[in-house]
Amino acid sequence: MFLTFAPLVSLLGLFPVCDARPASYAVWAADSGIARGQGNGLLANGSATVSYEHGEFQWGLRLLYELTGNKTYFDYIQAGVDNIVFPNGTIHGDYEWVEQWTDSGGTGPTFIYLFEQTGQAKYKTAADTFRRQLNGQPRTAQGQFWHKLMYFNQGWLDGIYMGEVFYTAYTNAFDADNATAWADITSQFKLMFDNTLQNATAPNNTGLMYHGYDFSHTAVWASPDRGHSPEVWDRALGWYAMALVDVLEMAPPNSGALKPTLLNILNVLAPKIQDAADPTSGVWWLVITEPGRTRNYFESSGAAMYIYSLLKAVRLGYVEDTDGSIVAAMKKAYNYAVQNWVVPNSNGTMDWKNTVHVGSLDTTGDFNYYVSQSVPLNDLKGLAAFLLASLEFEKL
């Protein structure tokens, strides 16, 4: 339908020669999601929804718009946000302030972007609503935002992406001299890192971060020492990794300790993420702490998030890749992804496979929980991450 195909010979042997390939997987992923009506602020039944995965897709469409100048992508973002923001700036749909859910913040960066692009006050009003939510967000005694009011005293890695990318974008745009905000954002990353990083005495140590922690140690899954959850879940760490590079890119010079702190964390994690990849396939297990265990599998959203984060980290000089091994590892993973998780349809769209639907700490947080979750086709959390990974891969 709308695909063009690159000559097979020009791809330097990165790809298998057996199938024709689109000129841009980023364009293909974006156009396929759009053709299916994904990420447009609506549920399948037409009800408005304030959804972090729509925000993630919009972030990718925005980068694609900036790269191509194709206004189709911008218009899709705006139409999607107009489905959840009334003309007076009130956010509607299923958004409930009283839930104090950090995940809501996932659409916040798009509000700010649309305000900057269009000057329309409603987008600023909507962004202000989320910013006020952060001011009232409950915190642990150390200052970490709770993931949600019902998740008492819990910090989850996913919440760092949802909360801090928006918090940074907002502070950058409207409140750049607010040293308290910069210190707070820095602290959110640092507390999460210190409270969830696996250490050398942990069984199956990967040097990566557990999904979350409960500062009050009351959750059934909380460890006796730091209250962390039992497993390293690939997508939680993927959100955290994306937050590191996206916040680093936005942070202005006067953001205090934010940049050095995030650079330190990123330089600890990047080689460990590389090490944790399965040596044969080059991609990562859903439960990274239990490689090869029956029912564990290679999960696609976490992989796409790591590829995006590490390629971006190298491209922007946040992580040195003197021997080229990080880029080589991400290319290998990307190649696996397109061979195994991208399925061409006869109508010109692509399908995206192997993204786990959810991963939560609302029950046991153990291996059996993670491997029991459904894996729907075209889950937007994974498709959007693949769009982001493709944008980085295609910059190489």
Ligand X SMILES: *[C@@H]1O[C@H](CO)[C@@H](O)[C@H](O)[C@H]1NC(C)=O
Between CA 104 and CA 359 the distance in angstroms is: 16
Between CA 76 and CA 220 the distance in angstroms is: 42
11, 43, 121, 358: which one contacts ligand X (CB under 6 A)?
Answer: 43
Judged by CB, which is closer to ligand X: 72, or 267? 72
105-134 mask for ligand X (x: CB under 6 A)?
A: ------------------------------
Footprint on residues 352-391 left by ligand X (CB under 6 A): none
**Helices (DSSP H) in the chain: which residue ranges?**
25-35, 52-68, 71-82, 108-118, 121-136, 157-174, 179-196, 234-250, 258-276, 300-315, 325-340, 367-371, 380-393
Judged by CB, which is closer to ligand X: 185, or 314? 185
Judged by CB, which is closer to ligand X: 311, or 356? 356
Helix (H, G, I), strand (E, B) or coil at 11: helix
128, 291, 332, 362: which one contacts ligand X (CB under 6 A)?
Answer: 291
23 is a site residue for ligand X (CB under 6 A) = no
* Closest-CA residue to 377 (of 353, 356, 396, 343): 353
230-269 mask for ligand X (x: CB under 6 A)?
A: ----------------------------------------
Between CA 238 and CA 179 the distance in angstroms is: 28
Q: How far is the CB of 151 from ligand X (least distance, A)?
A: 20
Q: How far is the CB of 390 from ligand X (least distance, A)?
A: 14
201 is a site residue for ligand X (CB under 6 A) = yes
42, 91, 181, 243: which one contacts ligand X (CB under 6 A)?
Answer: 181
Question: How many of the other CB atoms lie within 10 Å of CB of 37?
Answer: 11
Q: How far is the CB of 301 from ligand X (least distance, A)?
A: 20
> Which sign does the torsion angle of CA 11, 15, 17, 19 carry?
negative
Give the interface segment with ligand X, choosing from 75-83, 145-153, 238-246, 344-352 (CB under 6 A). Answer: 344-352
Cβ–Cβ < 8 Å for 137, 144: no
CA atoms within 13 A of residue 146's CA, in its CB half-sphere: 17
* Closest-CA residue to 129 (of 79, 154, 93, 180): 93
Helices (H) and strands (E) in the chain, counts: 13, 4
State both tokens at 267.
Answer: 């330089």
Give the interface segment with ligand X, choosing from 200-208, 251-259, 318-326, 379-387 (CB under 6 A). Answer: 200-208
Judged by CB, which is closer to ligand X: 118, or 204? 204
Footprint on residues 63-92 left by ligand X (CB under 6 A): 70, 72, 86, 88, 90
Please give the residue ranges that form the binding site for ligand X (CB under 6 A): 2, 27, 31, 35-36, 43, 45-47, 70, 72, 86, 88, 90, 135, 175, 178, 180-181, 184, 199, 201-204, 223, 225, 289-293, 345, 347, 349
